[in-house]
Structure 1
Amino acid sequence: MIRTHVPSAARRFPRPLLLLRRLLPVLLAPLLLTATLSACVGMPDTGPVVDIDPPAQDGSRAGTFYDPRPPAVGSSSREIVNGFLEAMKATPIRTSVAKQFLSARARATWRPERATITYTDLEAPVGERSVSLGVLGAERYDSRGAWERKLDEQESRLSFPMVREGDEWRIDEAPDALLVPASWFEERFVRTSLQFLDPTGSILVPEPVFVPAGDQLATALVGGLLLGPPEELGQVTRSAMPPGLRLATSSVPISADGLAEVALAGAGEEFDAVSEEMAAQIAWTLRQEPRVRAVQVTLDGRRLPLPGGVSEIPREAGARFDPDALGASDEVFALRDGLLVRGRMDELEATAGPLGVAGAGLVSAAVNLRGTVAAGVSRSGSVSVAPLSDPGGAVTEVVAGATDLLPPAWDFADRLWLLDRTAAGARVSVAVGTKVREVVVPGLTGTQVKAFQVSRDGSRLVAVVRGARRDRLVVSRVLHGSAGRVLRATPAREIDLDVEPGHRITDIGWRSATSVSVLSAVAGDVSQVRTVAVDGAPGELADTGALRIPGRASALVSSPEEGASPYVVGKAGVTDLLDPGRRLSALEAGVTWIGYVG
Structure 2
Amino acid sequence: MGAEGQLRGRARPLRAGVVLAACGVLIAGCASMPDEGNMKKVEASQRPDSQSQVRVYAMPPPEDAGAVDIVQGFLEALTSDDPDFAIARKYLTKKASQNWHPERSTTVLADGPNTVADNVGNNNEGERTYSLTGRRLATVNEQRAYQPDARPYKQSVHLTQQSSPNGPVWRIDVPPSGVVLGESDFERNYQAVNKYYFALPPGNVKTRDRPGGQQGLVADPIYVRQRIDPLTETVKALLDGPTNWLGPVVRSAVPIGARLASGTKSLTPDDKNKLVVPLNARADTLGHDQCTQVAAQLLFTLQDLTASGVEQVELQRKNGSQLCVLSKDRAETVAPHRTADLPAYQYFIDEKKRLVRMPGNAGSNAAPEPVTGPFGDESQPLRSAAVSRDEEHAAGVSTDGRRLYTTSVVSKSTLGGPELRSRAKSEKDGLSTPSWDGRGNLWVADRDPKRPRLLWLSEGTGEPVQVQVPDLNGRIEAVRVAADGVRVALLVTKNGETKLQIGRVQWEDGKGGQPNISVVELLEAAPQMEEVTAMSWAGVSRLVVVGRESGGVQQMRYVQCDGSARTGATLPGLTGAKEIAASEDERQPLVAHSDDGIVRLPSGAQWQTVVKEGTAPIYPG
TM-score by length of structure 1 reads 0.78
TM-superposed CA distance for 1:369, in Å, is 0.6
Q: State the match for 1:226 in structure 2.
A: 239
SS in structure 2 of the partner of residue 207 of structure 1:
strand
2:343 to 308, 311, 329: 329
SS in structure 2 of the partner of residue 190 of structure 1:
strand
* Cα distance in structure 2, aligned partners of 1:475 and 1:572: 30
SS in structure 2 of the partner of residue 85 of structure 1:
helix
Q: State the match for 1:206 in structure 2.
A: 219
TM-superposed CA distance for 1:141, in Å, is 0.9
Which one scores higher on RCO, CA 8 angstroms, separation ≥ 6? Answer: 1
1:349-360 alignment, distance < 5 Å = 349-360=369-380
Q: Do structure 1's residue 473 and structure 2's residue 500 form an aligned pair?
A: yes
2:580/2:617 contact within 8 Å kept: no
Q: State the match for 1:373 in structure 2.
A: 393
Q: State the match for 2:36 in structure 1.
A: none
SS in structure 2 of the partner of residue 548 of structure 1:
coil
Return closer, same or farther for 1:131/1:282 CA change in 2, 3 Å cut-off. same
* Cα distance in structure 2, aligned partners of 1:349 and 1:247: 55
* Cα distance in structure 2, aligned partners of 1:482 and 1:215: 45
* Cα distance in structure 1, aligned partners of 2:600 and 2:354: 24
1:244/1:269 contact within 8 Å kept: no
1:517/1:532 contact within 8 Å kept: yes
1:530-569 alignment, distance < 5 Å = 530-539=557-566, 542=569, 545-549=570-574, 551-569=575-593
Q: State the match for 2:468 in structure 1.
A: 440
Return closer, same or farther for 1:569/1:102 CA change in 2, 3 Å cut-off. same
* Cα distance in structure 2, aligned partners of 1:147 and 1:102: 27
1:42-53 alignment, distance < 5 Å = none
Q: State the match for 1:422 in structure 2.
A: 448
Give the residue type in structure 2 aligned to 1:240. A
| RMSD of aligned residue pairs (Cα, Å) | 3.6
Return closer, same or farther for 1:269/1:400 CA change in 2, 3 Å cut-off. farther
1:532/1:539 contact within 8 Å kept: yes
Return closer, same or farther for 1:330/1:210 CA change in 2, 3 Å cut-off. farther
Give the residue type in structure 2 aligned to 1:573. G
2:83/2:228 contact within 8 Å kept: no
Q: State the match for 1:186 in structure 2.
A: 187
Q: State the match for 1:31 in structure 2.
A: none
2:295/2:326 contact within 8 Å kept: no
1:78-477 alignment, distance < 5 Å = 78-119=68-109, 120-126=112-118, 127-128=121-122, 129=127, 131-138=129-136, 139-150=138-149, 152-153=151-152, 155-160=153-158, 162=160, 170-200=171-201, 202-213=215-226, 216-248=229-261, 249-267=264-282, 270-273=285-288, 274-288=290-304, 289-290=306-307, 291-306=309-324, 311-314=325-328, 317-319=331-333, 321-327=335-341, 329-336=343-350, 337-344=352-359, 347-378=367-398, 379=400, 381-392=402-413, 395=416, 397-403=418-424, 404-424=430-450, 426-433=452-459, 434-444=462-472, 447-468=474-495, 470-477=497-504
Q: Deviations over 1:142-190 (max 9, x none)?
A: 123322233522x423344758578655444444412334433433433
Q: State the match for 1:42 in structure 2.
A: none
* Cα distance in structure 1, aligned partners of 2:246 and 2:128: 38
* Cα distance in structure 2, aligned partners of 1:485 and 1:327: 31
* Cα distance in structure 1, aligned partners of 2:479 and 2:517: 19
Q: Deviations over 1:51-96 (max 9, x none)?
A: 99565445867544624214637x6555544443333344343322
* Cα distance in structure 1, aligned partners of 2:21 and 2:561: 40
Give the residue type in structure 2 aligned to 1:123. T
168-177 or 139-148, which moves further after superposition?
168-177
1:235/1:481 contact within 8 Å kept: no
1:340/1:356 contact within 8 Å kept: yes
TM-superposed CA distance for 1:286, in Å, is 1.0
* Cα distance in structure 1, aligned partners of 2:447 and 2:605: 34
* Cα distance in structure 2, aligned partners of 1:70 and 1:460: 47
Return closer, same or farther for 1:77/1:527 CA change in 2, 3 Å cut-off. closer
Return closer, same or farther for 1:271/1:581 CA change in 2, 3 Å cut-off. closer
SS in structure 2 of the partner of residue 187 of structure 1:
helix
* Cα distance in structure 1, aligned partners of 2:494 and 2:321: 57
Return closer, same or farther for 1:383/1:269 CA change in 2, 3 Å cut-off. farther
TM-superposed CA distance for 1:255, in Å, is 1.9
Q: Deviations over 1:195-246 (max 9, x none)?
A: 2222237111112222344682322221220121122432233322222222
Structure 2, gaps ≥5 residues long: 1-19, 30-43, 202-213, 361-365, 425-429
* Cα distance in structure 2, aligned partners of 1:244 and 1:158: 37
* Cα distance in structure 2, aligned partners of 1:105 and 1:214: 28
* Cα distance in structure 2, aligned partners of 1:580 and 1:555: 19
SS in structure 2 of the partner of residue 422 of structure 1:
coil
* Cα distance in structure 1, aligned partners of 2:79 and 2:504: 35
Return closer, same or farther for 1:163/1:92 CA change in 2, 3 Å cut-off. closer
1:112/1:175 contact within 8 Å kept: no
* Cα distance in structure 1, aligned partners of 2:401 and 2:228: 59
2:543/2:560 contact within 8 Å kept: yes
Q: Deviations over 1:518-567 (max 9, x none)?
A: 224899xx96322222211244563xx24212x43332232221221112
* Cα distance in structure 1, aligned partners of 2:321 and 2:450: 60
Return closer, same or farther for 1:394/1:584 CA change in 2, 3 Å cut-off. closer
* Cα distance in structure 1, aligned partners of 2:241 and 2:414: 44
SS in structure 2 of the partner of residue 352 of structure 1:
coil
Q: State the match for 2:611 in structure 1.
A: 586
479-488 or 116-125, which moves further after superposition?
479-488
Return closer, same or farther for 1:386/1:574 CA change in 2, 3 Å cut-off. closer
Return closer, same or farther for 1:123/1:320 CA change in 2, 3 Å cut-off. same
119-128 or 552-561, which moves further after superposition?
119-128
Q: State the match for 2:598 in structure 1.
A: 574
Return closer, same or farther for 1:315/1:221 CA change in 2, 3 Å cut-off. farther
SS in structure 2 of the partner of residue 156 of structure 1:
strand
* Cα distance in structure 2, aligned partners of 1:83 and 1:380: 61
1:160/1:174 contact within 8 Å kept: yes
Return closer, same or farther for 1:215/1:538 CA change in 2, 3 Å cut-off. closer
Radius of gyration: which is bigger?
2
1:429/1:438 contact within 8 Å kept: yes
